[in-house]
Amino acid sequence: MVTCPNCGKPVSGRARVCGYCGESLVNDYFSGHQQARTSFEKERPGPGAIAGTTLGAFGGVSLLAVLVFHILVLCGVGEIGPLPALELDWCVRTALLAILVPVYLAQMLILHGRRLSWWPDLFWLFMSVTALGVVIQGYIDQGTSLFYDVLAIPYLLAVGMILIAVGAITSIFSYKRSR
């Protein structure tokens, strides 16, 4: 049994026309199916959005590796230069990596390449370019001592930030406003 969309009375599921009011039940079925299909097609991400998501995900994984190295330095694993004290600078860097990177990766996983707006991509582009500039400037000024003499940290930071920036640029240029 189905309900007639016009009069609201129950009608047989096989009926093509409502027996009470004469409303066509077939047209409503096909128009509803067509609307569901077009709304699904609107949600499919384009190739640029998928490429931006993939690049951004690899950049996020690179930054997670930086977080692991950053924490391993404190634990004293391996022959790594001087161990950092729990100073404010170390805590701020660790907190930024531990908060911003999972938020970024969660956004990538939740959206699956879909873009609701270009503002989040613009925000991540700004953050990645700013952080890349800070990393390069710190490496030029203090060398590896800023990164506790672990060469993997500045290189992984640079690669992660570059991948996130390129992914954000790709996503911004692939974003199409659907109206």
**Is 5 in contact with 28 (CB distance < 8 Å)?**
yes
- Domain positions in the chain: 2-43, 47-174
| Chain segment 11-33, per-residue pLDDT in tens | 887 787 888 888 877 764 555 55
**Is 172 in contact with 115 (CB distance < 8 Å)?**
no
pLDDT at 179 over 50: no
Whether this model's pTM surpasses 0.75: no
58 Cβ contact partners less than 8 Å away, ≥ 6 residues apart: 163
Residue 5 pLDDT level (bands cut at 50, 70, 90): confident
pLDDT of residue 30: 52
146 Cβ contact partners less than 8 Å away, ≥ 6 residues apart: 138, 139, 154
| Chain segment 101-122, per-residue pLDDT in tens | 999 999 888 887 777 778 888 9
3-state secondary structure the chain: CEECCCCCCEECCCCCECCCCCCEHHHHHHHHHHHHHHHHHHHCCCHHHHHHHHHHHHHHHHHHHHHHHHHHHHHCCCCCCCCCCCCHHHHHHHHHHHHHHHHHHHHHHHHCCCCCCCHHHHHHHHHHHHHHHHHHHHHHHHHHHHHCCCCHHHHHHHHHHHHHHHHHHHHHHHCCCCC
Alpha carbon distance 127, 92 (integer Å): 15
pLDDT at 177 over 70: no
